[in-house]
């Protein structure tokens, strides 16, 4: 088995978009996923990129991917990596690809002097939780994640 982990490059947006939609289906939220190839292409490779990505190729096939962005710790005074999505296609699971992707992102952090690698996981995804525990990840149980979006976001923003 030949495994190559590399930064996303133009042309990967089709596979990455497909994997995001596959992940949304897995998370029982397919109807909430609005990502398009052109939107991801702009986010990854546009004039002001807002996301980074990695893909994993196994014997030349795109088997997994990760989308992430830089965050900033005011307490540490340096950036960190926030992993938005990590997905391994079902046919390629149980081969260590997710662990290798996490190790690659940890290397991005170490090489750039970033202080942390962070992510969120659904509380019912026991396989992912087991992986994250095994690599030294620790749940931040003292924090509650909040989000405002859709009509509530527009209402909060007020008249524009």
Dihedral sign (CA 91, 94, 100, 106): positive
Catalytic residues: 132
Q: Structure tokens of 103?
A: 């190790």
Q: What is the predicted pLDDT for the residue at 160?
A: 82
Collapsing DSSP states into helix, strand and coil, what is residue 67? Answer: strand
Domain that holds residue 153: 3-157
For residue 29, give the CATH number of its domain. 3.40.630.30
Q: What is the predicted pLDDT for the residue at 84?
A: 98
pLDDT in tens, the chain (160 residues): 899 999 999 999 999 999 999 999 999 999 999 999 999 999 999 999 999 999 999 999 999 999 999 999 999 999 999 999 999 999 999 999 999 999 999 999 999 999 999 999 999 999 999 999 999 999 999 999 999 999 999 999 999 8
Q: Is 85 left (phi over 0), alpha (psi -120 to 50) or beta?
A: beta
Q: What is the predicted pLDDT for the residue at 148?
A: 96
Overall domain count for the chain: 1
Contact 59, 98 (CB under 8 A): no
Burial 65-75 (b: 16+ CB within 10 A, else e): bbbbbeeeeee
Distance (Å, whole) CA 14 – CA 54: 13
């Amino acid at each position: 088995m030949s495994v190559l982990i590399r930064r996303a490059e133009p042309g990967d947006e089709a596979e990455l978009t497909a994997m995001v939609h596959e992940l949304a289906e897995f998370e029982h939220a397919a109807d909430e996923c609005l990502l398009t190839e052109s939107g991801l292409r702009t986010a990854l490779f546009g004039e002001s990129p807002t996301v980074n990505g990695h893909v994993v190729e196994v014997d030349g096939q795109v088997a997994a991917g990760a989308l992430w962005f830089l965050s900033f710790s005011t307490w540490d005074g340096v950036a960190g990596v926030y992993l938005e999505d990590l997905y391994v296609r079902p046919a390629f699971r149980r081969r260590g690809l997710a662990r290798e992707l996490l190790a690659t992102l940890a290397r991005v952090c170490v090489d750039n002097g970033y202080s942390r690698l962070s992510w969120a996981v659904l509380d019912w995804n026991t396989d992912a939780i087991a992986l994250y525990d095994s690599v030294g990840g620790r749940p931040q149980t003292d924090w509650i994640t909040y989000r405002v979006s859709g009509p509530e976001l527009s209402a909060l923003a007020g008249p524009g």
